[in-house]
Structure 1
């Protein structure tokens, strides 16, 4: 199977409609009831360690440690809340160039569908939507500066991809939930690739390179340089560059790491 065609299939209108339909069938999700600020602004000086002081409410207010399927989906929904509101505000800002508007609008549509799906699935266990501050206390101006908007988008998308992968193990006991989560993961990976290309980056993470983002964004990328997969060192494969193996896999991040990143944009 052509993997690019496979991933592209998840970005169609049919996929969105299918996800929304699944979200409305509460009986298929009944067992749910039983069970760092990313400094992504290329134009900002890199000396941002003070900026990471915990002045905002921690996202742990909205979710506990990610151990059960319910908690895994609560983390996913909080990240989707963040992305959904971010892209909605981006579209309202008026700063997106005409050439990119259709791309951002489609990504926004996907994020809104993800929120609906996960909120419906969680039902009464769905966390309340946090209040977000995408200026990070006045450090960023994403809705008046398009390069800043894209930089934040890249960090959010890269975080989402790794966070979904990190929660897969917590959903493995339920095939339906795991399938749905990995479908969303695939869509987020397409978003990440597209946003990175809009910024003039490769469509994938290279080692642990943060792609021109400030040093404070490094938590989003640490560990991506890993070459060993399932006990096999991919850098030893003959006739390919040693870096090709690590670049072929997105590494998971833990729930607490995703929480620490998201909480820095929560009031």
Structure 2
């Protein structure tokens, strides 16, 4: 649920992701900490930023640990999946291997940045007590991947406001939002192909999807009111379908909603 994967500071660890964020993010961060800073020191430098935020904004610590908990979940999910024989077909191995690399580096980074404040990794059960053949059935594995990634995108939006008083932390969170969405997009594409269900697109339509809690909630993905404006009622948008409007925006999930979604997969904290 790669939620707050502060990707920009991982430029030396995860070059593939940084290549997709080539614009100004890398330059901005490196200008802040000095161009001669060794790659190994990047997490340490960012930890300084995080530690300063703790004193001023206790919520920042909560949000980052919330992110770390979800990163633990995703990392272990892909780690097990990528190491399970005969689960992932050859043509998809590179995709999930790369996502797994991202997740592993995200956990390493957040643990380093949080230091002694980092929460411990929970124990997970990705079968949800036998409900899902997570690692014996590829379509189920991809379905869970899609659900975790879609949850991550929505969870990020739900917590962005809690980082508003910490602009640097928020900057990194905003920079990674599109990367999280790319993970979700490729998982959705794969699921559409292997299931033959063309209604599954790279983006979410209305509030359709499984499990339902990932797409509904306090603010449903079927929302068409944005910035207080009812978009279907705006002049010039009359011919744009309700479904298309819902596809154009991601909606937030609250922390409670995300933890409820993750709950069946967490054995103990």
TM-score for the superposition, normalised by structure 2: 0.77
Q: Deviations over 1:22-74 (max 9, x none)?
A: 42312222224425xxxxxxxxxxxxxxxxxxxxxxxxxxxxxxx81111111
C-alpha separation in 1, matches of 2:55 and 2:113 = 12
- Describe the SS at the equivalent of 1:173: coil
Structure showing greater Rg: 2
Gaps of 5+ in 1: 1-9, 36-66
Q: 1:175 to 1:150 in 2, by over 3 A?
A: same
Per mean C-alpha deviation after superposition, the further-off stretch among 12-21 and 151-160 is 12-21
C-alpha separation in 2, matches of 1:113 and 1:180 = 15
C-alpha separation in 2, matches of 1:230 and 1:187 = 24
Q: 1:249 to 1:160 in 2, by over 3 A?
A: same
Which one of 108, 122, 141 corresponds to residue 149 of structure 1? 141
Gaps of 5+ in 2: 1-10, 30-38, 193-199
Question: Post-superposition shift, 1:241?
Answer: 2.1
Counting only pairs closer than 5 Å after superposition, residues 50-129 of structure 1 correspond to structure 2 as 68-94=59-85, 95-129=87-121
Count of aligned pairs: 222
Tell me, yes or no, if structure 1 residue 221 matches structure 2 residue 215: yes
1:263 aligns with 263
CA contact (8 A) 1:114 1:184 kept: no
CA contact (8 A) 1:207 1:226 kept: yes
- Describe the SS at the equivalent of 1:199: helix
CA contact (8 A) 2:17 2:179 kept: no
C-alpha separation in 1, matches of 2:53 and 2:119 = 13
Question: Post-superposition shift, 1:134?
Answer: 0.5
2:34 aligns with none
Q: 1:122 to 1:32 in 2, by over 3 A?
A: farther
CA contact (8 A) 1:33 1:125 kept: no
1:45 aligns with none
TM-score for the superposition, normalised by structure 1: 0.77
- Describe the SS at the equivalent of 2:101: helix
1:42 aligns with none
2:253 aligns with 253
2:51 aligns with 30
C-alpha separation in 2, matches of 1:117 and 1:104 = 20
- Describe the SS at the equivalent of 1:68: helix
Which of structures 1 and 2 has the larger relative contact order (alpha carbons within 8 angstroms, sep 6+)? 1
Q: 1:22 to 1:225 in 2, by over 3 A?
A: farther
1:38 aligns with none
Question: Post-superposition shift, 1:209?
Answer: 0.4
Report the RMSD for the aligned CA atoms in angstroms: 2.2
